[in-house]
Amino acid sequence: MGTFKHPSVIAATGYPLHGDAIRVYLRGFYEVETVGHTIWQDGLAELDRQLLLTKPVAVIADDTFPYPPQQVARRVKTKLPACGLIYVDASPNIFRVLHCLEQGFVAYLFLGDQLAESLKLVVDMARRGERFLSPHVLGQYERYTMYRGLFTSLPKALLSIFKLMGEGLSVQQIVGRTGLRPEVIYRRQYRLRQHFGVESNEALLEVIQGVFEDTATALAKP
């Protein structure tokens, strides 16, 4: 007679304690395998290996995992299209939230929200493909929905740069994400500054912060 085995979940984190916490929260419901917190192993290679070995129903990545969430999403969805993707962030940013949702994550959680009681429910929903935003992230998303008319009127090329700046990406990181030449990015940033009537990129970012950030997010920043 076979031994009953709980469904598998992968926790992709940069800190062992984060993986341990996820294991405790899901104990009795899911078997948790952790990847990403050993300096002598490539976290993405570990993820690839565990995807093949354990066939997880969900992957939980957090902001300490040393690889961008889009790389996690690409690897998971290529191998296991039905696997639920969950992201946990200590300092959520609405444009990073939007990017993760576009890449295939179905749940986005703020570390400051109470996760211990809700994580099992979130995994249950994620494996069914149902979206879940924890309360703090949902508040950001609702503010974005309310104010997005300020930005959706922008030409698509400018809107994409604005969102990437909102994620906190540098020009070099935007180059890596988009493949655009730096001079193209500088021109679009100049046009954005003209559009919003500000003189610097720092002032441009304040436009985002003034609309989308709140006290909890500001306090979470180092």
Question: Which among 87, 119, 143 is the end of a domain?
Answer: 143
Structural domain for 43, as ranges: 8-143
Domain end, chosen from 92, 125, 143, is at 143
Q: What is the CATH number of the domain that holds 99?
A: 3.40.50.2300
Res 60: pLDDT? 98
β-strand partners of 58: 9, 84
Residues sharing a CB contact under 8 Å with residue 22, sequence separation 6 or more, in sequence order: 9, 11, 13, 32, 34, 60, 119
Judge whether 3 lies within some domain. Answer: no
CATH number, position 196: 1.10.10.10
Q: Which residues contact 36 (CB under 8 A, 6 or more apart)?
A: 12, 13, 14, 43, 46, 47, 65, 66, 67
Count: domains in the chain: 2
Rounded to two decimals, the pTM is 0.81
- Based on the fold, state whether residues 128 and 84 are members of the same structural domain: yes
pLDDT, one tens digit for every residue, the chain (222 residues): 456 789 999 999 999 899 999 999 999 999 999 999 877 778 999 999 999 999 999 999 999 999 999 999 999 999 999 999 999 999 988 889 999 999 999 999 998 888 888 999 999 999 999 999 999 999 888 888 877 776 777 888 998 898 898 888 999 999 999 999 999 999 999 999 988 888 999 988 887 776 666 533 443 343
1 part of a folded domain: no
Note the pLDDT of residue 218: 40
Q: How many CB atoms lie within 10 A of CB 44?
A: 18
- Whether residue 9 contacts residue 46, with contact meaning beta carbons closer than 8 Å, is answered with no
Domain boundary (86, 108, 143) is at: 143
- Quick one: 108 and 171 in the same domain? no
The answer to whether the CB of 41 falls within 8 A of the CB of 89 is no
Same structural domain, 116 and 153:
no
Confirm whether 109 is domain-assigned.
Answer: yes
